[in-house]
Amino acid sequence: MTLNIPVIKLLVAKDWQLFQKQLAVCVLAGIVSLCFLGLAKPWAFYVGSLMLIIVMVSSACFSIATSLVVERKEQTLAFVMSLPVSPLDFTVAKLVGNLVTFLVPFGVMLGGTLAVVLFTPLPDGLFVYALLIFGYLLFAFSVSLAIAMAVETEGWATFGMIAPMVLINPYMMALTQVPDIKDRIGVDAIVWTTPAVLILSALVTMAVGLVAATAWRHARKPAFY
C-alpha cells in the first residue's frame, strides 16, 4: 500500500487555494478580536473573547464545509475521485488538507491569544484557561472532521459540524465549576493544576485518536463506492 505523494500534495494545495479567501477573512477577524482582548478592559475582553470563539468555530466549519460538504453537494467529488488516487490517497489528502487549513488559523490565534495574555495587563492565569478552550476547539474540530468524512449526507455532516462546536458553551461553564481551574483564572501567574492538565491531555489525545481512527477506517476501503 503506497501513497501517491505528488498527487496528494497537489490535492492539499488545491484545498488550500479553495479555502484561502475564507482563511484570510478568519485570520483578519481573529487579529481584530485579539486587539479587543489586548485592551484589557472588561467590555473589550467580553467582545474580544466572544469574537475569537466565533472566528475559531467559523474557521473549523469553513474548512470542513469547503473541503468535504461542498465538494459532495456541488458534485466536484466525482472529479477528484476520477484523478489517479486511491481511497487511501484521497483520505490522506482530505485529512492533511483539513488539518492544514484549520491548524494555520488555529496556530495563529492560539499564539496570538497566549501572547496577548502574557504581554498585556490581562491576568496570566488566563494562559491555562485559554489553552483549555483551544484544546476543546481542536477536539471539536476532529469530531466534526471524523463525522463529515464518515457520513454521506449534507444534513448529518452539518449536524456533525455544529453540535460539537455549540457544546463549547456548556464546556466553558463546566470548567468554571472546577475550583482548581476557576480559582486560578484571575491570578497573575501560570498555574498548572492536576484537573487542567488532565482535561487538556484528554482533549488532545482524543483529537489525535479520532483523526488516526478516521484515517485507519478509510484506509481499509478498497474503492470509493
Partner 1 sequence: MTLAFSLSGVGKCYPHFALRDITLDLPEGQVMGLVGVNGAGKTTLLRLLTGLAAPDAGDVTVLGHRLPEGQVAAKRDIGFASEDMRLYRGQTLRWHMDLMRGIYPDWSEAYAVELLKRFDLRAEQTLGGFSHGQRVKALLLLCLARRPRLLLLDEPTTGLDPVARIEVLEALADVLRDESRSVLFSSHNTHDVEQMADSITFLHQGRLVASADKHAFVDRWRRVVCQGALPEGLEAWPEIASARANGSLVEIKARAWDAGMPERLAAQGLQVQRDDPMALEDIFVTAVRSGAVA
Closer CB to partner 1, 2 or 194, in the complex: 2
Question: What is the secondary structure of 81-132 as a DSSP string?
Answer: HTSS--HHHHHHHHHHHHHHHHHHHHHHHHHHHHHHHHHSSS-TTHHHHHHH
**Cβ of residue 70: shortest distance to partner 1, in angstroms?**
9
**Cβ of residue 17: shortest distance to partner 1, in angstroms?**
8
**Cβ of residue 20: shortest distance to partner 1, in angstroms?**
11
- Contacting residues toward partner 1, per CB under 8 A: 4, 6-7, 10, 14, 17-18, 74-76, 78-79, 81-86, 89, 222-225
**Amino acid, res. 86:** S
Closer CB to partner 1, 1 or 189, in the complex: 1
Cα–Cα nearest to 93, from 4, 208, 16, 12: 12
| CA pair distance 134, 60, nearest whole angstrom | 12
Cα–Cα nearest to 195, from 174, 212, 221: 174
**Cβ of residue 63: shortest distance to partner 1, in angstroms?**
16
**Cβ of residue 170: shortest distance to partner 1, in angstroms?**
36
Residues whose CB falls within 8 Å of the CB of residue 10, separated by 6 or more in sequence, listed in order: none
Closer CB to partner 1, 16 or 45, in the complex: 16
Closer CB to partner 1, 7 or 190, in the complex: 7
Closer CB to partner 1, 46 or 224, in the complex: 224
Quick check: 58 and 33 in contact, CB under 8 A? no
Quick check: 174 and 206 in contact, CB under 8 A? no
